[in-house]
Amino acid sequence: MSIKIHTGQILHFLSAVTHEYFPSGALVTEDGKVVTCGDKESLLARYPQADITDHGERLIMPGMIDSHVHYPQLDVIASYGEQLLDWLNNYTFPAENAFKDPETGRSTAQFFLNELLKNGTTTAMVYGTVHPQSVDAFFEQSSALNTRMLCGKVMMDRNAPEYLCDTAESSQTDSQALIDRWHKKGRQLYVVTPRFAITSTPEQLTAAGQLLKDNPDVYLQTHLAENKAEIAFVEELFPERKGYLDVYAHYGLLGPRSTFGHCVHLDDQDLKIMSDTGSRIAFCPTSNLFLGSGLFRLHHQPSPVSVSIASDVGGGTSLSMLQTLNEAYKICQLNGTSLSPLEAFYRVTLGNAESLLLDDRIGNFTPGKEADFIVLNPAGTPLMERRSGKCTSLEELLFCLMIMGDDRAVAATYVMGNCLWNAMTDNEAKP
């Protein structure tokens, strides 16, 4: 296969505190993998036969990663007036019912993946609905695009409408069948997905723990300590446990492959347990603001816990990780800390890959990584063009992108070296 070179400004992260930036740079790929990146002149000379795509002054960066998002909730973004529990009951549960129809799953997954790519997101950890067919539909569409995606069937067997409930036993059987069908098939990865402690019986949480024991390399995702009324309800349902986190701990759900959405209201003792068990947090800024859940303290780390950043659509209000960073920055401001542009772009690329234990495959441009990358256009709108024209440093340009940017700042998205989205020419992502 031929070597391809993409020229432009290149930025990627080697760690939380180290990045490489080549203002006149090149990214070299071959067979969907990164060969190297560096200075344009020397790489063009080293690979004279390469097929060259010039992105001008635009910024070439690893694809962004969204660590917590619900694909079946596209139709409940911007649902008015409620906090978490009423929002779930009044808007979200009824909307998820439609996914009993596999065709709804297929068309929505296709639309959703197209939106992710258009927004520069190349990997996401995704919730399906309770219906196993919603996950089949998602993985079928993702496989067709060859995107690296993580997804799971929601397990929920109480405190929800009957039409949306499974049982402890059926949820275990259905999840296992999906694991057998999809986990590590191509780039697809399975996530055991008990919705949250409120909607699972002790028997179902036991089943979730058993799935993790039976399949040690799958993931787990759920929600934790998002909202005060939610926490009070969990304490009522599990009076024998020391608190919300202890419910998940008791059923064996903590660990490095487990990502807990929100965690807005964990105390320092909880954070110590999260840290000791290697458990992960997904910080969902647009959702926490929209649902009035609270201000997550990103930089409050009494014990080190891996925190990823996520959209949580449909509680969240945008699939754009740039817009997600915009709101994350503002939450940090309200907490009296600053989310620097370099930290922000580290987090939505390598940082999120590390949190999902995928940094050996995606997240930066070290040799051998899967060539998922994006081309950002700091002049995506006339106002952005005006503002970014005044920027005199990389940091300023990145800050402009994360505060003002959205899908209009994404010029192109590449998956395994292939262009799946080009803002100039495409209406939808092409497999």
Binding site for ligand GUN (CB under 6 A): 70, 84, 88, 92, 195-196, 223, 226, 287, 312, 315
Q: Looking at this protein, which amino acid is placed at residue 353?
A: A
Among ligand GUN, Zn ion, none, the one that 226 touches (CB under a kind-dependent 5 to 8 A) is ligand GUN
CA atoms within 13 A on the CB side of 212: 22
Among ligand GUN, Zn ion, none, the one that 84 touches (CB under a kind-dependent 5 to 8 A) is ligand GUN
Which 3 state secondary structure label does DSSP give 384? helix
∠ CA 198-202-206, rounded to 5° = 120
Burial class (CB within 10 angstroms; exposed 0-12, middle 13-18, buried 19+) of 109: buried
Which 3 state secondary structure label does DSSP give 59? strand
Provide, rounded to whole angstroms, the least separation between the CB of residue 132 and Zn ion: 19
Provide, rounded to whole angstroms, the least separation between the CB of residue 156 and ligand GUN: 9
Provide, rounded to whole angstroms, the least separation between the CB of residue 122 and Zn ion: 20
Provide, rounded to whole angstroms, the least separation between the CB of residue 315 and Zn ion: 6
Tell me if 66 contacts Zn ion by CB under 5 A. Answer: no
Dist. CA 216–CA 223, nearest whole Å? 21
CA 15 to chain centre: 19
Structure tokens at 135: 């996950």
CB distance 319 to 311 below 8 Å: yes
Among Zn ion, ligand GUN, none, the one that 139 touches (CB under a kind-dependent 5 to 8 A) is none
Dist. CA 68–CA 65, nearest whole Å? 9
Among Zn ion, ligand GUN, none, the one that 370 touches (CB under a kind-dependent 5 to 8 A) is none
Residue closest to 113 by CA, chosen among 84, 89, 139 = 139
What binding mask, one character per residue, do residues 234-263 give for Zn ion by CB under 5 A, x or -? ---------------------------x--
Element at 178 (helix H, strand E): helix 168-182
Q: Which of 96, 136, 157, 312 binds Zn ion (CB under 5 A)?
A: 312
CB distance 219 to 189 below 8 Å: yes
Question: Cβ closer to ligand GUN: 115 or 312?
Answer: 312
Provide, rounded to whole angstroms, the least separation between the CB of residue 307 and Zn ion: 15
Question: Cβ closer to Zn ion: 166 or 312?
Answer: 312
Residue nearest to ligand GUN (CB): 315
Provide, rounded to whole angstroms, the least separation between the CB of residue 147 and Zn ion: 20
Interface residues with Zn ion (CB under 5 A)?
Answer: 261, 312
